[in-house]
Amino acid sequence: MDLFSSQNSPDLRRNAALPWLLVLAWGLLGWACRPDTYRGGLNVALGYETDTLLFDTVLVQAGSITKRFKVYNPSNQDLLVDRIALGSALAGGSRPSGFRLNINGLAANQAQNLRLAAGDSLYIFAEVTVNPNDSLTPYLVTDSVLFFTGQQVGKVMLTAFGQNARFYRDSIIGTTVWTKDLPIVIYNSILVDSQATLWIQPGTRIFLNAGSSIFVNGTLRAQGTAQEPITMQGDRLDPFYRDLAGAWNGLHFLRGSLNNYLRHVHLRNGSVGLRVDSLPASGSQPNLRLESVWVDHFAQAGIYGNTAHIEGDNVLVSNCGLFNFLGDFGGEYRFRHSTFVHLQSEFTRAYPLMVLSNRNLGTPSRSNNALLSLTNCLVWGGTDEEFGVDSSGNGSLSYQFQHCILKSLRGWSGTNLLYQNPRFKNPGNRNYAIDTLSPAYGAGIDLRTQYPALQFDLLGQSRTATPTLGCLERIEMGGIFEP
């Protein structure tokens, strides 16, 4: 008889399936009755992916990135790990360290009787928030994760460097001096009030949380040195966030802000590095003067002038998302011995790295005059055209190139204007010095008498009477740029 024939009765087909159902039921019953092979109290030495989980420097009260490691059962026995615990948790909270654990998906600083099959592993996640003390220098914060299996006790150390800081939250500040003794940490932005001056001394480190800006309605005077530059960056110091563009907003000079000066300042990894709004209310002095300033890796723009007056010497603007420099709605912009470069970056750009515009703002009848002057400068990037203009406004638009290298196919006019690769040494490693064969070597004019700050380059190296183009002087013996 063909059991698979369509002419067989339903009863016969049901009876034919009965043996298979009995086998399945017997298997499930046997599985349900199978003895639990996980046992506690076994003396098994666990294996660990690392013996120390190291965190980078963590600012006090600011949480760290979450790190993890694996724990292995190297034996052929299914274990119940008797206990996993944060060392300080076993001390009854008498010495809280600021570390927190997630044990194989359980957010807790200790857990008991965790199953760990033979040859299998589980994850331990850890993060830390460092409590303040009275130290001016980074200090060590330690704890451990302890593992108990029978008489065996395993340990993985947790280590972080804590750094005390001065905190500002949603603050309007009057005349203030920031010094290098402790880092400055800014949450949710600050505003330098009108008629007030913020003085920043050499070596000061400034950290801003996501979305934060320094707004300047009064005056900012940041005066670092080549040996002790002032730094501004996001407040997350672990490797992933430390090199992430957009980690904070930037410096924003509001309309009416005057006499701003930045010297030996390094800004990195924000959204818009330097934004200046509106021409000065009176006089010919710029809204912002820059000397030996490096603006690196901003998600939108390095320098953005909105009908502003900016002057810069020894300025380096590198690898910004949309524009390294944008002079918009007119304004006056003059740079000497400066480098604007975009190479080896994760950004895909639709615009030239340098753009000048006189387009109208608000009132169509308003005339916005735009001027860009570059002397002894380098403008180089990964696209064929790295200088663009928008002359749609009513005002004038003019540019002056003297002894410059410009990446362009359009043949802009200028004095000793070159379109040759400046041959940076290692732009992928942020080394923007030039090599021996560079056409920028010795191609500049001597500006030292007229502009005393240009006696030295961005790193404080002396310039010669036939200087290298850009912000870094070519020194034949040594003098490589290692930011």
DSSP string, 303-335: EEEEEEEEEEEEEEEE--SSEEEEEEEEEEEEE
The model's pLDDT over 108-159, given as tens digits with 9 standing for 90+, comes to 999 999 999 999 999 999 999 988 887 877 888 899 999 999 999 999 999 9
Same domain flag for 310 and 425: yes
CATH of the domain at 103: 2.60.40.2310
Same domain flag for 280 and 418: yes
Answer yes or no: is 475 within a domain.
Answer: no
CA distance 95 to 80: 28
Answer yes or no: is 241 within a domain.
Answer: yes
Give the number of C-alpha atoms closer than 13 A to the C-alpha of residue 261, restricted to the C-beta side. Answer: 11
Same domain flag for 140 and 207: no
Highest mean pLDDT among 72-81, 160-169, 469-478: 72-81
Q: How many CB atoms lie within 10 A of CB 33?
A: 7
Same domain flag for 272 and 137: no
Strand 121-128 and strand 67-72: pairing? antiparallel
The residue behind tokens 């006189």 is 358
Q: Is the dihedral of CA 316, 321, 322, 328 positive or negative?
A: negative
CA distance 84 to 132: 28
Answer yes or no: is 37 within a domain.
Answer: no
Task: Determine the average pLDDT of the residues in 67-79.
Answer: 94
Answer yes or no: is 433 within a domain.
Answer: yes
Same domain flag for 250 and 363: yes
| Contact between residue 200 and residue 179 where contact means Cβ atoms under 8 Å apart | no
| Contact between residue 432 and residue 470 where contact means Cβ atoms under 8 Å apart | yes
| Contact between residue 142 and residue 58 where contact means Cβ atoms under 8 Å apart | no
pLDDT of the residue at 366:
67
pLDDT of the residue at 94:
54
| Contact between residue 340 and residue 356 where contact means Cβ atoms under 8 Å apart | no
SS3 per residue for 29-67: HHHHCCCCCCECCCCCCCEECCCEEECCCEECCCCCCCE
The model's pLDDT over 271-316, given as tens digits with 9 standing for 90+, comes to 999 999 987 655 678 999 999 999 999 999 999 999 999 999 999 9
Same domain flag for 148 and 191: no
pLDDT of the residue at 362:
67
Same domain flag for 105 and 210: no
Same domain flag for 259 and 385: yes
Residue 258: which domain range?
A: 165-455
| Contact between residue 330 and residue 307 where contact means Cβ atoms under 8 Å apart | yes
| Contact between residue 175 and residue 220 where contact means Cβ atoms under 8 Å apart | no
pLDDT of the residue at 26:
47
| Contact between residue 366 and residue 458 where contact means Cβ atoms under 8 Å apart | no
Specify burial of residue 55 (Cβ count, 10 A radius: 0-12, 13-18, 19+): buried
Q: Is the dihedral of CA 42, 47, 48, 52 positive or negative?
A: positive
Answer yes or no: is 38 within a domain.
Answer: no
| Contact between residue 213 and residue 205 where contact means Cβ atoms under 8 Å apart | no
* Average pLDDT, rounded, for the chain: 88
Specify burial of residue 240 (Cβ count, 10 A radius: 0-12, 13-18, 19+): exposed
Q: How confident is the model at residue 349 (pLDDT cuts 50, 70, 90)?
A: confident
Answer yes or no: is 113 within a domain.
Answer: yes
Answer yes or no: is 461 within a domain.
Answer: no
pLDDT of the residue at 483:
41
Same domain flag for 265 and 201: yes
Task: Determine the average pLDDT of the residues in 73-101.
Answer: 86
Q: Is the dihedral of CA 394, 417, 304, 262 positive or negative?
A: negative
Residues 6+ apart with CB under 8 A from 77: 37, 39, 42, 44, 118
Same domain flag for 282 and 427: yes
Last residue of a domain, one of 162, 180, 209: 162
Q: How confident is the model at residue 381 (pLDDT cuts 50, 70, 90)?
A: very high
- DSSP helix/strand/coil, 28: helix
Highest mean pLDDT among 14-23, 228-237, 444-453: 444-453
Same domain flag for 268 and 353: yes
Percent of the chain with pLDDT over 70: 88
* Model-wide pTM > 0.85: no
pLDDT of the residue at 76:
94
Q: Flag whether pLDDT at 415 surpasses 80.
A: yes
Answer yes or no: is 478 within a domain.
Answer: no
Counting the structural domains of the chain, the total is: 2
Q: Flag whether pLDDT at 2 surpasses 90.
A: no
Last residue of a domain, one of 138, 162, 186: 162
| Contact between residue 333 and residue 323 where contact means Cβ atoms under 8 Å apart | no
pLDDT of the residue at 3:
27
Same domain flag for 172 and 135: no
Q: How confident is the model at residue 364 (pLDDT cuts 50, 70, 90)?
A: low
